[in-house]
Amino acid sequence: MTTTASPRTPTAPAEGPAGPAGPEARRAAARRRSGSAWTPWLYLLPALAVLGALLVYPIYQLGLISFLEYTQAQVSGGRPTSFKGLGNYSALFSDPQFWQVLLATVLFAAACVLVTLAVGCALAVLLTRVRALPRLALMLAALGAWATPAVTGSTVWVFLFDPDHGPVNRVLGLGDFSWTYGRYSAFALVLTEVVWCSFPFVMVTVYAGIKAVPAEVLEAAALDGASQWRIWRSVTAPLLRPILVVVTIQSIIWDFKVFAQIYVMTGGGGIAGQNLVLNVYAYQKAFASSQYSLGSAIGVVMLLILLAVTLVYLRLLRRQGEEL
């Protein structure tokens, strides 16, 4: 008896990525990726809210006032606030004193940065040459200077260089010489105080970078007969270039907006404003002369300059991260 084979029931194909579950899986994966993309922003939301309240809103008010006519008459309610557009900026840029103060600020900040880097790098190299106890003493002294508030440090330096009671004039035999009377001597005195409270950051950062340089590289350079200065210039400094760039740009930002040292040590900008920098100049225009809109315009100009420097700083940080 011949039997005929019954036809086999076809089995359903296994569901794969292209099957009915494929689109659903892709949509679920997309939802997961979208959720994971928003997760960091949820963690940053509290910090962004604080920054928005403490930074964004004041900057908005600063920019708004710079476009208005806002003096003591408007503050007291005697006259209504009016929109001036770019009138405050036009008055600012047409004032020769503004350009003199801007030039003085740039030169003063450049001098502070150069001296701070020189002192900080020299002491960082010194830390690698001395024993543990002198190194600890130098580190503690530097960190003490770094932790001193600007107003306190400036007041102490004014006392040290006081023409009547200061010990510096007595030791140097300068008699009643007033350091804050002359323009350049006052700037030199303030520069010394700024360097005193700024070099520890450079020293500690560069010292950490030097310790990270492989010892084999330095030993090989020494065996080749290179002097200590040649080793620093040709070996150590190129390896420290990313760190030196970072500390340089941060020093530029800090020294460009110096206020407390100039204001305290020169009595608000020196005789006839001979020691004004942009921060003190803006303060005098806004609060001493009650020209709040003009002071705000100076603040906006400073903000744009520092923003450009900050963008360069962030770009260099990003490039450094890519190199690492």
Q: Please report the pLDDT score of residue 80 as a whole number.
A: 79
Q: In the predicted model, what is the mean pLDDT of residues 210-236?
A: 84
Cβ neighbours around 56 below 10 Å, total: 11
pLDDT at 110: 95
Q: What is the structure's pLDDT at 236? A: 84
Residue 234 has pLDDT above 70, yes or no: yes
pLDDT tens by residue, 31-59:
666 556 778 888 888 888 888 888 888 89
Q: Nearest-5° angle of CA 184, CA 189, CA 193?
A: 145
Point out which residues pair with 68 in neighbouring strands.
Answer: 83
33 vs 96, residue with greater confidence = 96
Nearest to 124 by CA among 199, 15, 33: 199
Band (188; pLDDT cuts 50, 70, 90)? very high
52: its two tokens: 């928005």
Does position 282 have pLDDT exceeding 90, yes or no? yes
Average pLDDT (9-35) is 57
* Residue 290 DSSP symbol: -
Quickly state the pLDDT bin for 6 (edges 50, 70, 90): very low
For residues 225-240, give the mean pLDDT: 83
The residue-averaged pLDDT of 173-190 equals 91
pTM for the predicted model, two decimal places? 0.80
DSSP state of 55: I
Q: Who's near 98: CB < 8 A, 6+ residues apart?
A: 92, 281, 298
3: pLDDT strictly greater than 50:
no
Burial of 282 (0-12, 13-18, 19+ CB in 10 A): buried
Task: Look at residue 16 in the predicted model and tell me its pLDDT.
Answer: 47
Per-residue pLDDT for 192 more than 50? yes
Domains, the chain, with CATH or none: 62-94+291-324 (no CATH), 99-211+237-287 (1.10.3720.10)
pLDDT at 164: 87
| d(C-alpha 81, C-alpha 69), whole Å | 6
Residue position matching structure tokens 């008010």: 61
Please give the C-alpha separations between residue 277 and each of 66, 249, 258, 312, 314, in angstroms, as whole numbers: 19, 19, 8, 23, 26
What letter would DSSP give residue 131?
A: -
Mean pLDDT to the nearest integer, 95-124: 95
Percent of the chain with pLDDT over 70: 87
Instruction: Give percent above pLDDT 90 in the chain.
Output: 48
Residue 19 pLDDT level (bands cut at 50, 70, 90): very low
Whether 276 contacts 268, CB under 8 Å = no
What average pLDDT does this structure show over 286-304?
Answer: 92
Stronger pLDDT, 186 or 165, i.e. the higher one: 186
CA distances from 320 to 205, 232, 239 (A): 15, 21, 12
Mean pLDDT, residues 2-7: 47
Structure-token pair, residue 177: 């010489």
**Average pLDDT score over the chain:** 85
Q: What is the pLDDT of residue 18?
A: 45
